[in-house]
């Protein structure tokens, strides 16, 4: 049975779908939900689902990323995850940290990578007058939002689309895509998932 740690910074809606998906014949189970934000709403949801939680607040470390990551690694070492899922985790991880879990960190990004790496993806898609948007699950490598794609889901951009309406549509697809990708990844199937 593969052990999965999920890193969050906020509400944890993706984390919740991942936790709820790991049942029955799924070859993975959640062993830790870890946040850099002590107020992350997802921590309560994780506890309600009986998942171990931990918090390493990044703020006391200021710009000292290495010191923050030296603390962040501790609950992960205790939980011994086989797979780490970043789910709305808003801190950039160093190449050294990523290297310790090389090839075993997944991330979900709210754009059709390689387009719109970084932030404000929906506003950028609207500004470019794209006809579609979406989300991508990828392996995390030292380069931000750049690793091999494990899955993508598309949504149309319609007349009068706003950032909020697009974000809501994409988030709903994230909730479908991420659990499907994790299930395959946990079975060592790397054939990418494309939705719809
Ligand atoms: C959302 O903007 C989502 O697109 C991105 O992280 C943000 C929060 O997600 N992946 P969550 O509700 O905390 O999973």
Q: Give the dihedral sign, CA 30/49/57/116.
A: positive
Residue 102 has pLDDT above 90, yes or no: no
For the chain, give the mean pLDDT.
Answer: 97
How many CB atoms are closer than 10 A to CB 105? 23
Q: Is the CB of 179 inside a 6 Å radius of any atom of ligand 1?
A: no
* CA 31/CA 144 separation, integer angstroms: 26
Quick one: average pLDDT of 61-74? Answer: 98
Q: What global pTM score does this model have?
A: 0.97
Distances (CA, A) of 92 to 32, 62, 97, 138, 172: 19, 13, 10, 15, 24
- Mean pLDDT over 65-82 rounds to 98
Q: Based on the residue annotation, tell me whether 175 is a catalytic residue of this protein.
A: no
Chain CA centroid to CA 10, Å: 11
| 1-44 pLDDT, tens digit each | 999 999 999 999 999 999 999 999 999 999 999 999 999 999 99
- Confidence at residue 88, expressed as pLDDT on a 0 to 100 scale: 97
CA 11 / ligand 1 centre spacing (Å): 8
Bin 56: left if φ > 0, else alpha if -120 < ψ < 50, else beta. beta
Q: Which domains does the chain have, with CATH numbers?
A: 2-189 (3.40.50.170)
In the set 109, 122, 138, 175, the catalytic residue is: 109
Instruction: Give the distance (Å) from ligand 1 centre to CA of residue 28.
Output: 22
């Amino acid at each position: 049975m593969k052990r999965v740690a999920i890193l969050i910074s906020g509400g944890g809606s993706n984390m919740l779908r991942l936790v709820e998906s790991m049942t029955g014949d799924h070859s993975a189970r959640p062993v830790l939900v870890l946040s850099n934000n002590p107020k992350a709403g997802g921590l309560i949801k994780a506890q309600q689902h009986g998942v171990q939680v931990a918090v390493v607040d990044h703020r006391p470390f200021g710009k000292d990323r290495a010191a923050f990551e030296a603390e962040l690694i501790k609950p992960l070492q205790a939980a011994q995850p086989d797979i780490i899922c970043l789910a709305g985790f808003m801190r950039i991880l160093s190449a050294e940290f990523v290297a310790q879990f090389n090839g075993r960190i997944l991330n979900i990004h709210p754009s059709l990578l390689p387009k719109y790496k970084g932030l404000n993806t929906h506003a950028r898609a609207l500004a470019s007058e794209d006809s579609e948007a979406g989300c991508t699950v990828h392996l995390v490598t030292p380069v931000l939002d750049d690793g091999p794609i494990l899955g993508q889901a598309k949504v149309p951009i319609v007349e009068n689309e706003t950032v909020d309406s697009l974000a809501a549509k994409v988030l709903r697809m994230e909730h479908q895509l991420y659990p499907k990708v994790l299930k395959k990844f946990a079975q060592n199937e790397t054939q990418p998932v494309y939705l719809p």
